Amino acid sequence: GAGVSQSPSNKVTEKGKDVELRCDPISGHTALYWYRQSLGQGLEFLIYFQGNSAPDKSGLPSDRFSAERTGGSVSTLTIQRTQQEDSAVYLCASTQGRSSYNEQFFGPGTRLTVL
Amino acid sequence: AQSVTQLGSHVSVSEGALVLLRCNYSSSVPPYLFWYVQYPNQGLQLLLKYTTGATLVKGINGFEAEFKKSETSFHLTKPSAHMSDAAEYFCAVSGAGNQFYFGTGTSLTVIP
């Protein structure tokens, strides 16, 4: 079946503009994660959705970052008033079930460049 | 609290040589441990994972890792490196709750 997809694959924007990044998880996967991958920094957890529960937003770096997940499927990560330090690859992953030992399936990522 | 440390951001090995990528973790609860691989311009994919049971875990492409609780380590090995193994490797830990903590990654170069 189809894997996790993300769009756009690349996004170049000007400082101060808002951007929206999209993630389509694997059908039936109840858990969805967003990460940020910066050069030499590994993966930084941003936010976690599980079913209809309130999301875990503890990793969001500032109030400029927000995310929603509609209908328990597609998720959108929004960054308002982008800054140059927001430049990174944003990765989405989905997992079947609730357990923290389940494999995460990653999308190819969106490379964001803020000029 | 949980965290992961990967020693060596860059590792180079000759083709056919042993691959050893180091991972140490910190966890206040019994950990679940993972190794993911990221090939150039691709997403991360699971190599192997440890949850419970046998401490020596075998994964795809001939990789294996051993969970050593006393050393809080989960090092990744492969007896003989192939050119196709060149990639970025990430160690991750999870436990209580559903957050995953990733290391900063190790870039593996295989020299022909």
A contact set with B (CB within 8 A): 3-4, 31, 33, 35, 40-43, 45, 48, 50, 56, 58-59, 91, 93, 98, 100-101, 103-104, 106-109
B98 → closest Cβ in A50, A91, A106: A50
Is there a contact between B99 and A45 if contact means CB atoms under 8 Å apart?
yes
- What is the C-alpha R_g of chain B? 13
Q: How far is B32 from chain A (nearest CA, A)?
A: 6
Enclosing H/E stretch for A91: strand A88-95
- What is the per-residue pLDDT for A67? 96
pLDDT, tens digit (0-9, with 9 covering 90-100), for A23-82: 999 998 989 999 999 877 788 999 999 888 889 998 999 999 999 998 879 999 999 999
**Would you say B106 and B20 are in contact if contact means Cβ atoms under 8 Å apart?**
no
Band of residue B2 on the pLDDT scale cut at 50, 70, 90: confident
| Cα(B32)–Cα(A67) distance, integer angstroms | 27
**pLDDT score for A9:** 95
Tokens coding B67 = 């969970």
Q: Residue A111 has which token pair?
A: 């490379």
Residue A109 region, left (φ>0) first, then alpha (ψ -120 to 50), else beta?
A: left
* A1 pLDDT above the threshold of 70: no
Residue A100 has pLDDT above 90, yes or no: no
